[in-house]
A and B are shown apart, each in its own frame.
Chain A
Amino acid sequence: MEGDERVSHATPEKVIAPKRQRMLDMVLALSGLKEESTIPLSKVKDELENLKKELAPLTDAIIAFPDSYFEKFLESVKKSNIAAEINDRGVLKESISNLEQALSTADSVSLKALNKILTDALNRMTEVEEHHDVSADIDLASTISTLSDFISEIELITDEFEKAAETEADSARSELVTLAESLKETQEKIEKDPDAALDELQKLGSQTRYGPGLRSIAQVKRGKREGRIDDAQFNRLVKENLLTEINRGVILFILSKMGSKTVVQIGELMQTPPQTIQNALVTMIQRGEVEMVGLDGDAPVFSRVLTETPNATLLMKRIVQQVRGMVKSLEGETTETMKEALGRLQTLLERLKILGAYNEALLSDSINKLREAVDSVTESVLTAQTTDDADNLKLLISAGLEAFARFRLKITLEKGPSLVSGTNVYGEKLDPEVYKNMMDTYLDNELERGTILILIRELGALTVHDLAERTNIPSDRILRHLLRMKRDELLIIAGENHGYILYDVPRTLSEAEISIQTTSDLALHLSAAREELQRILSDLKASDIGKLANSLEVFSKARDKLTSVRVQGTVIDETTLNDVEDKIRSAVLLTYRTRAKIPSTRPKVTIEDLLDIDVPSVLDEYRSQMGYAPLLGFGTIEWEQSKCLGCKSCEITCPEHAIELKPRIEIPKFFEISDDALSQLPSNRSLFYRTVQNLAKIKPSNELILEKEAPGFGTVEVDLWLCVACRTCVRRCPGPEGGALELELKWSLPEVVKHITSTS
């Protein structure tokens, strides 16, 4: 009851100070990390009902407008026959695919008819091209058949390698068993006598020669000796961290002596649960001691990171890539043979990778023969004329040409050798090995990029997914190439398809092409948005508010874009577009207004997320969104003692309690005020300083700490984190010549964040 709170001394909960909390919230809101919620949860339902009521008179017209537009659009397409003006097959294909997708979500007579027109146009175009294709047939079978023999040779040698590795592993196995046993013994000792156990661990560490583990053990020992680590901490460290380190040593022992292994295999060998191995491995990967080299079924196979990969493995990798490129370019039996060869080569590459190190010399002969054969096949494929009607061959050939034609590549190829033989302008000489590796990756990259470019140019905008399917290059590599080329401005982003980004080359399209492309693209978006809108409005939920806003935005943007679509110079269905404009806009605004009121469901963020925030720009954004700025920045206040009257006005007016007059007098400064400054001060104040100066025998060197607050005296201090840089204190200060305070804005949020973490 009400009597309690006044007299009882309940200990206050340790919470962040309200002002501080408010500032924190504001920073979060500013950086878009938290929305301002203005209504309680209980009111959300009413708010949604309101919105629904307000939207009702608008939505019918909005939903109906695309149908009306497309009908008119179809008419004018038919009338003007602009389909015939389209020369870019990519545009046609893309438009057709968009329309088909749109039709799959919702039926539309006009879109169907439009699709038919475009499909016909595409078919006509393809027929024409087929006539132009010149057929040429070259038999590659003989060359290809030789590949198989070389591969078999290499396979035999690899078998030998694996046998040798197995033998080595066997001899290591007995050593491992002793290792594992002593490890187990030590583990049991840890509880009873951690000190002795640590000594044992150290011995094991030296057997496995695992450097990081030995270092940690030494550190812990020293920490204990010097009293920095207490007993509980020591026990925990030995039991957890150091044991894991030794496990890592054993793992590395297995991987180097017994070849690459999966987690389960290592676990079995060490008689340790796979979970423990897994945990230990994560750090080893980070430390660069272990890498994943392949898959055994679904399980990743790990290997010791070699300082140098054998050249044979690298060579094999290149061959695989080359063959992979060819498979797509061939047809009939040769394709099958090539595919088979590719399969075997890939397996071989995996096996070599798992072997890690092996006796390269044994392999060099056969692998060189294989390379020569593959090179000659490539050559013949490149020069061959085929009757193949698939685009791919032609494309890949030109991909190669494209790549070689590119200026940078030419330079590299011309200058490279001279870098090795001669010296560069700095008198440095390039190591031929390094140069070779460099050139290998370089050519790989350039070839792949060239392929990608050609494909996109011919087929229209493509996604990573499309490209991976067509080229057999792994998608992560494709993405890397795409990003690189985007940075070089060879590609642009052309939108997205099923969540994948579409990349395209910069193109110059005709009006007809643009109109068809835009309209079909918008048809797709509109049909999806319409479905979404109808679904959401049938049962409006708080969680759908974002989607509602998005789908209305789609309508809004589509409408705007459609006003720029012209068929033979005229805008289609202009009246409908104009009619619906205001309706869409009000619907969007209403939705955003409601969204702003509904409490956010977005996840909270950590302070670390604030580190990269650019405060001024975020503040500007906040101001333009919210119409006001509750925070003007973070500032430091410069205070000048000689002009301060100690009146506390700054402290009293500060809206955030950020500035305070502390009971401390910087008395040495009393003696440093110039006569000029003294004459500017209010009469009694300057009289006071003069009297003190007249009386003083000595000039004090230390500041005075007062026992309690004294009106008229003190030192001003500002809490950077509480200060919102509103300048109120500066404006209020009655000191002479503009006052004793000056504000300097600070923008470093990390600095502010440091304050939060240190004081809350």
Chain B
Amino acid sequence: MDDNKSAALICTCGKQLQLKYDFLETQVSKMNLVASATVHDFVCQEEGLAKIAETLKANDGHLVIAACSSQKIQPRIDQYLKSHDIDSTQIQYVNIREHSAWVHKDIDEATKKSADMIRGTLARSAKAVKRSVEQKEVSPHVTVIGGGIAGIESALSLSNLGYKVVLLEIKDELGGHVQSLPVVAPTGKSGKEILSGRLEAIKNDKDITIMTKVRVKFVSGEQGNFSIHYLSDDDEEKTLNTSAIVLATGFKEFKPTSMEEYRYGKNPDVITQFELSCMLSEGKLARPSDGAPIKEVVMVQCVGSRSEDYKKDCSKLCCTFAIDNSLEILERIPDATVRIVYMDIRVPFENEMIYKESREKGVDYIRGRVSMTWEHEGKTYVRIYDSLLDKYLDIPVDLLVLSSAILPSDGTLELSETLGYAVEDDGHVKELYGKLRRNETRRRGVVAVGGITRPQFVFEAITDAQAGALVIHNELQGGTIHTVARGAVLNVDDCVGCSLCAQQCPRGVPLMIEQTEAEESDEEQKILFKAAIDTLNCHACGVCQSLCPSGATQLNFLSNDQLWSEIDAVLEGAGPENPITLCFYCEECSVSTIDIVGTRRMEYPASTRLIPVPCAGRVSIIDILKAFEHGASTVMIAACEKDRCHIGGTGNEIAQVQVDVARDILNAIGWKGERVDMFRMFSAEPERFTKAVNEMVKRAKDLGPTPVHDGTAGKWREMSE
């Protein structure tokens, strides 16, 4: 592709920036790839926006705006241009304010850095292509897996949003655990009452199809075109086509048969908290072994929870449920004695009120553990160690209730194999990003709501379900997806079928398609594949591009050529006398961190050149090596914190691998591996960036000229001859 010359608009931010604009203007005007260089005082204001529109038209959309952070200015410009029906997709931004003028005291240095970065951005702009709006029709159909409270709620919400919904339930009726709760804190209502209105609504909703006694086996396809393979109630394997999936498979209660001290499963009077709930809501409160009335109840908290051997963390709900149930027991049998053996009582939110109530009503709280349970002459006894009194108490009980741990439901791991969501160590479904993308899973079009993501109270599960429904609505847009395609585009001819993109895409977008026709004529009986990428499903992180061995898949806004020519241009003049630290930064956490460094005027050396990438995962080992080839002294990647990759959870880790391998290779070929490094950013801690960048500048100085600078690069050829 020919290089296009771009116009450059250089903003003075109302003449506030300490840069030598005259010098900058002459410098930029002299650059190869510039069509015109204009200094403007208020690019973000009405006159500036008009100037942008005018320049765009004159330069066929090729425009570099050197101003403040694109995070601030770009939305405004885009909105303006959109309202004037002008395409803005080729505009490239370079931040000369937060990334240069505000952080460097030396005006000459800052100006020089700004000029270099403008030159780099001009190179990127030269190869920019126009991106157009694309439209895709998908069926407005969503499948909800799991008919508990969360599943019911999301089905109702989706139906209200105009989707056809299929609700799959493994048992023979809807309602899940909530159905058996005698009282749901803090409402005071029973589980049945909470469900009844919803069950009625769902039955009357003609857009919701309920299928019970159904087991999902596996899922194929992608968002907009999933196929759910399931076993129907007569054990027949069937498929169901759908556009998105709500995973609401809930939780299961841990059955502590393996914990010898409680004799659960051997003594019928030892039951779990949920089993007690069932007894209470069925109204049959009696000793299970002989039906005798109940007087003495001991509840044991944290059975299996907060235990290194079982579930490591707190199950969150059990304290509240135990208190609910003990109040319920006392209401029915006022003279009963209820003792709760606890480690710590944890009742969040307004549940504190029922804790207080229970104390007033005489529930006995014993801090300690049960060490053994035994039967003697038809009675059950427990030995409790009271850690406050440092005493052992032997107590006869009619009912020993174990508040056992809450675990993800069965089959979560098996389904993850085809549904593609990530699973946490404890077996729960991992959310895409704990703070901002809670209900999304790693797989696009699959949301997880309710107890499957973590133990949740009933009201939490309900809000979760509603949020999940809205996430899906955002994606499917009612069935007509209409958006500017911004993401990876695959050139099928170049694809060799290695499947690295499909293996590593954080969101599972590329699909591998077997080339059966080509296989038939292949002499070597090769198994041939080609990738297929739906750009509308893509999150535009560029991981596929960084790994693709043939350059077949590239982001439509940042091709390999764009980035490589930017690296080349921005490093012009880099050398032993002018050691440059090149920083690739992701446009998620890192850009915010670096911008905040700018707004807080935290200084760092001006021998740094910054290149934005959508995600750290976009930076390939070739990009890193190219930077060195073009004279960079050190290279750094600024990325999101571990487990906080905003794009899909793994972009930053793939970047880390590239950096690690690059270091190893550099060390092996006679360089210093420390010349490249990766740093995790966090916008609340801007000093992370300054520390990192200072470190890399220091290394550039300490390590001195690179082999490229001193001409020893490529020397191995002479040595081996």
Q: Is the CB of A700 within 8 A of B496?
A: no
From A2, A697, A713, contact of B715 by CB (8 A)? A697
In the complex, chain A residues 707-760 whose Cβ is within 8 Å of any chain B Cβ: 707-713, 727-728, 731-732, 734, 738-739
- B456 CB-CB contact with A under 8 Å: no
Chain A: number of interface residues, binned into ranges: 35 or more
Most buried by A among B309, B503, B716, B719: B716
From A3, A732, A734, contact of B256 by CB (8 A)? A3
Nearest B-chain residue to A732, judged by Cβ? B527
Interface bits A651-693 vs B (CB < 8 Å: 1, else 0)? 0110000000000010100010000000001111101100111
Q: How far is the CA of A692 from the CA of B665 in the complex (A)?
A: 8
In the complex, chain A residues 201-215 whose Cβ is within 8 Å of any chain B Cβ: none
- A706 CB-CB contact with B under 8 Å: yes
Q: Is the CB of A667 within 8 A of B665?
A: yes
Instruction: Give the interface segment out of A5-13, A37-45, A126-134, A350-358.
Output: A5-13
- B621 CB-CB contact with A under 8 Å: yes
- B572 CB-CB contact with A under 8 Å: no
Nearest B-chain residue to A9, judged by Cβ? B309
- B560 CB-CB contact with A under 8 Å: yes
Q: Which residues of A contact B549 (CB under 8 A)?
A: 645, 647, 681-682, 684-685, 712
- B664 CB-CB contact with A under 8 Å: yes
Closest-CB distance, B669 to chain A (whole angstroms) = 4
Assuming the contacts A647-B498, A691-B626, A734-B529, asked whether A711 and B503 have C-beta atoms less than 8 A apart, the reply is yes
Q: Is the CB of B714 within 8 A of A695?
A: yes
From B494, B525, B548, B669, contact of A696 by CB (8 A)? B669
Most buried by B among A649, A691, A696, A713: A696
Q: Which residues of A contact B310 (CB under 8 A)?
A: 7-8
- B279 CB-CB contact with A under 8 Å: no
Chain B: number of interface residues, binned into ranges: 35 or more
- A17 CB-CB contact with B under 8 Å: no
Q: Which residues of B contact A684 (CB under 8 A)?
A: 548-551, 560, 620, 622
- B524 CB-CB contact with A under 8 Å: yes
Q: Which residues of B contact A692 (CB under 8 A)?
A: 625, 665, 669
From A652, A693, A706, contact of B499 by CB (8 A)? A652
- A136 CB-CB contact with B under 8 Å: no
Q: Which residues of A contact B309 (CB under 8 A)?
A: 7-9
Q: Is the CB of B628 within 8 A of A695?
A: yes
Nearest B-chain residue to A1, judged by Cβ? B255
- B427 CB-CB contact with A under 8 Å: yes
- B296 CB-CB contact with A under 8 Å: no
Interface bits B533-551 vs A (CB < 8 Å: 1, else 0)? 0000000000000011111
Most buried by A among B410, B549, B620, B713: B549
From A2, A667, A711, contact of B410 by CB (8 A)? A2
Interface bits B660-696 vs A (CB < 8 Å: 1, else 0)? 1100111011110000000000000000000000000
- B311 CB-CB contact with A under 8 Å: yes
- A595 CB-CB contact with B under 8 Å: no
Assuming the contacts A2-B410, A683-B551, A695-B629, asked whether A731 and B500 have C-beta atoms less than 8 A apart, the reply is no
In the complex, chain B residues 685-712 whose Cβ is within 8 Å of any chain A Cβ: 707-708, 712
Q: Is the CB of B714 within 8 A of A693?
A: yes
Closest-CB distance, B439 to chain A (whole angstroms) = 24
Most buried by B among A671, A681, A683: A683
Nearest A-chain residue to B522, judged by Cβ? A731
Most buried by A among B254, B494, B504: B254
Most buried by B among A7, A681, A710: A7
- B497 CB-CB contact with A under 8 Å: yes
- A694 CB-CB contact with B under 8 Å: yes
- A177 CB-CB contact with B under 8 Å: no
Q: How far is the CA of A645 from the CA of B622 in the complex (A)?
A: 14
Counted as pairs of residues, one from A and one from B, with CB atoms less than 8 Å apart, the total is 173
Interface bits B240-261 vs A (CB < 8 Å: 1, else 0)? 0000000000001111111000
Q: Is the CB of B713 within 8 A of A731?
A: no
Q: Which residues of B contact A708 (CB under 8 A)?
A: 657, 660
Q: Which residues of B contact A734 (CB under 8 A)?
A: 496-499, 529
Q: Which residues of A contact B258 (CB under 8 A)?
A: 4, 8
Closest-CB distance, A675 to chain B (whole angstroms) = 12
Interface bits B370-405 vs A (CB < 8 Å: 1, else 0)? 000000000000000000000000000000000011
- B476 CB-CB contact with A under 8 Å: no
Q: Is the CB of B625 within 8 A of A711?
A: no
- A699 CB-CB contact with B under 8 Å: yes
Closest-CB distance, B189 to chain A (whole angstroms) = 29
Q: Is the CB of B629 within 8 A of A647?
A: no
Q: Which residues of B contact A232 (CB under 8 A)?
A: none
- B148 CB-CB contact with A under 8 Å: no
- A449 CB-CB contact with B under 8 Å: no
- A559 CB-CB contact with B under 8 Å: no
Q: Is the CB of B496 within 8 A of A691?
A: no
Q: Which residues of A contact B265 (CB under 8 A)?
A: 1
Q: Which residues of B contact A648 (CB under 8 A)?
A: 499-500, 503
- A434 CB-CB contact with B under 8 Å: no
Interface bits B593-626 vs A (CB < 8 Å: 1, else 0)? 0000000000000000000000000001110011
From A7, A682, A695, A732, contact of B708 by CB (8 A)? A695
Assuming the contacts A691-B625, A699-B719, asked whether A667 and B668 have C-beta atoms less than 8 A apart, the reply is yes
- A698 CB-CB contact with B under 8 Å: yes
From A4, A671, A712, contact of B257 by CB (8 A)? A4
Most buried by A among B309, B498, B524: B498
Q: Is the CB of A697 within 8 A of B671?
A: yes
- A589 CB-CB contact with B under 8 Å: no
Q: Which residues of B contact A695 (CB under 8 A)?
A: 625, 628-629, 666, 669, 671, 707-708, 713-714
Q: Which residues of A contact B720 (CB under 8 A)?
A: 671, 699
Q: Which residues of A contact B719 (CB under 8 A)?
A: 698-699
- A64 CB-CB contact with B under 8 Å: no
- B123 CB-CB contact with A under 8 Å: no
Closest-CB distance, A645 to chain B (whole angstroms) = 5
Q: Which residues of A contact B529 (CB under 8 A)?
A: 732, 734
Q: Is the CB of B496 within 8 A of A706?
A: no
Most buried by B among A8, A667, A732, A734: A734
Closest-CB distance, A659 to chain B (whole angstroms) = 14
Q: How far is the CA of A742 from the CA of B49 in the complex (A)?
A: 62
- B103 CB-CB contact with A under 8 Å: no
Q: Which residues of A contact B712 (CB under 8 A)?
A: 697
Q: How far is the CA of A156 from the CA of B715 in the complex (A)?
A: 104
Q: Is the CB of B496 within 8 A of A694?
A: no
Q: How far is the CA of A6 from the CA of B504 in the complex (A)?
A: 28
Nearest B-chain residue to A681, judged by Cβ? B549
Q: Is the CB of A731 within 8 A of B405?
A: no
Nearest B-chain residue to A739, judged by Cβ? B526
Q: Is the CB of B255 within 8 A of A7?
A: no
Q: Is the CB of B714 within 8 A of A731?
A: no
Q: Which residues of A contact B405 (CB under 8 A)?
A: 7
Q: Which residues of A contact B716 (CB under 8 A)?
A: 671, 693, 696-699
Q: Is the CB of B668 within 8 A of A682?
A: no
Q: Is the CB of B669 within 8 A of A697?
A: yes
Extra 15 A-B pairs, beta carbons < 8 Å, given A688-B621, A695-B666, A711-B504? A2-B255, A6-B254, A6-B427, A665-B661, A667-B665, A682-B496, A682-B551, A684-B550, A695-B714, A696-B715, A697-B707, A700-B669, A710-B660, A728-B527, A734-B529
Top 6 A-B residue pairs of the complex, sorted by shortest distance between their CB atoms: A697-B670, A3-B255, A682-B550, A647-B498, A1-B255, A696-B669
Interface, chain A (partner B; CB < 8 A): 1-4, 6-9, 645-649, 652-653, 665, 667, 671, 681-685, 687-688, 691-700, 702, 704, 706-713, 727-728, 731-732, 734, 738-739
Interface, chain B (partner A; CB < 8 A): 252-258, 265, 304, 309-311, 404-405, 407, 410, 427, 494, 496-500, 503-504, 524-527, 529, 547-551, 560, 620-622, 625-626, 628-629, 654, 657-658, 660-661, 664-666, 668-671, 707-708, 712-717, 719-720
A-B CB contact pairs (8 Å), 10 listed? A3-B252, A7-B311, A8-B258, A695-B714, A696-B713, A697-B712, A699-B720, A700-B668, A711-B657, A738-B524
